Every structure is written in C-alpha cells, then in structure tokens.
Amino acid sequence: MAKQILGGYKMSNLHSFFSLGALVLIALISLRFNSAVLENSNIETENKVYLTAFSLANDLIEEIKTKAFDAATIKFPTTDPSVLTSPYYLGPAANEHYPNFNDVDDFNNFSRMIDAPHAENYLVSCSVYYVSETNPDYKVMTQTFYKRADVTVTSPYMKNAVLISFIFTLK
C-alpha cells in the first residue's frame, strides 16, 4: 500500500522533521542550562572572594583594636592631645616592625599580601589619620583623641576594592 501524502510530504519525512526539531530544541535548552550553571558558579566564586576580603579587612581592624591608642598612652592615658604623635609622624617608629606594633598609628601605610585557599594575592593595606571629633569623615592635621583607620583589600579577582573604616578614640 502506498504511503499517504499530507501537504506534499510523506508522513515519514514529517516525523523525521519533527524529531529533528525536537533534538534542536533539547540541545538549545541544554546549552542554556549549562550557561546558567556556569554563571551561578562564577557568582559563587566571586562571593567567596569578596567574603574573604571583608574577613581580612575585619581581621586587621580587630588586631589594631588590641593596641594602645598612641605611643604616648601605652602606659598612662592623657588629657592633653598635644602630647600625642604628630600627624606628620604617624606610622611605626624605626625600631617597630610588624607584627610587633604597639599602637594604632603604627599601622599607617601598612600593607601585606595574603593568599587564601580559593584566591591568592589579596593586598591588605591600612592608613591611619586623625579626624575631627564632630565629623569623623573629616581628616585633620592636628592631634585629636580620634584616629580613623581605613583598611582596604584588593585582589586581581575583584572588580572593586573592599574598604572598612573604624574610629579609635582615647575618650
């Protein structure tokens, strides 16, 4: 018996055409699924890198919190800000080297490279400066009872740097 013709095509050719179309559709869906999984994996890795950067910045802030406010206040606090380290000399003394810093401003211009299990070459750096009592975002060039530490973390795996600030006070 002869095959029926439907619209000029034999039924077996029509089935082949639909089967081929279904395979193409499945291949496209599979490609989209794979790219979505890869994109989620990239986002997960990026989140781990940023979380590690925040953790490294916070670790340094916590380390600085264990130090005296100033070299002049290691043994006794003061009520006279003029005896504190000059803003022009913030940083470690010639005989002070990390990790043996003893006061907050020793961390001024401090930086170090840190490697983590899933990403390397984190650069952790810190700047310390005096700020105004009434406006902690305003840097001043006189001694005050307020020092601000800005800890910045960068990495070749991050688009933006991470910055955490903390205000240290003697009061």
Residues 51-70: tens digit of each pLDDT:
999 999 999 999 999 999 99
Question: How far separated are the first and last CA of the chain, in Å rounded?
Answer: 103
Please name which of 148, 147, 151 lies closest in space to residue 72, comparing C-alpha atoms.
Answer: 147
Q: Which amino acid is at 109?
A: N
E-assigned strand segments in the chain: 5-6, 9-10, 110-114, 122-130, 146-154, 162-169
pTM: 0.78
Looking at per-residue confidence, does 41 or 127 come out higher? 127
Question: Which DSSP string do the residues of 137-171 spell out, in sequence order?
Answer: TSB-SS--SEEEEEEEEE-TT-SS-EEEEEEEE--
Written as six digits, the tokens of 130 are 């005096």
pLDDT digits (tens, 9 = 90+) for 124-143: 999 999 999 999 999 999 99
| pLDDT band with cut points at 50, 70 and 90 for residue 45 | confident
Q: Which amino acid is at 138?
A: Y
Please name which of 154, 147, 153, 136 lies closest in space to residue 170, comparing C-alpha atoms.
Answer: 147
Q: Other CB atoms closer than 10 Å to residue 70's CB: what's the count?
A: 24
Q: Which amino acid is at 67?
A: K
Given a cut of 60, is residue 5 above it in pLDDT? no
Domain boundaries, the chain: 11-169
Q: Are 68 and 74 in contact (CB under 8 A)?
A: yes
Looking at per-residue confidence, does 35 or 29 come out higher? 29
pLDDT digits (tens, 9 = 90+) for 71-122: 999 998 899 999 999 999 999 999 999 999 999 999 999 999 999 887 889 9
Long-range contacts: 88-94, Cβ < 8 Å, 24+? Answer: 88/141, 90/128, 90/129, 90/130, 91/128
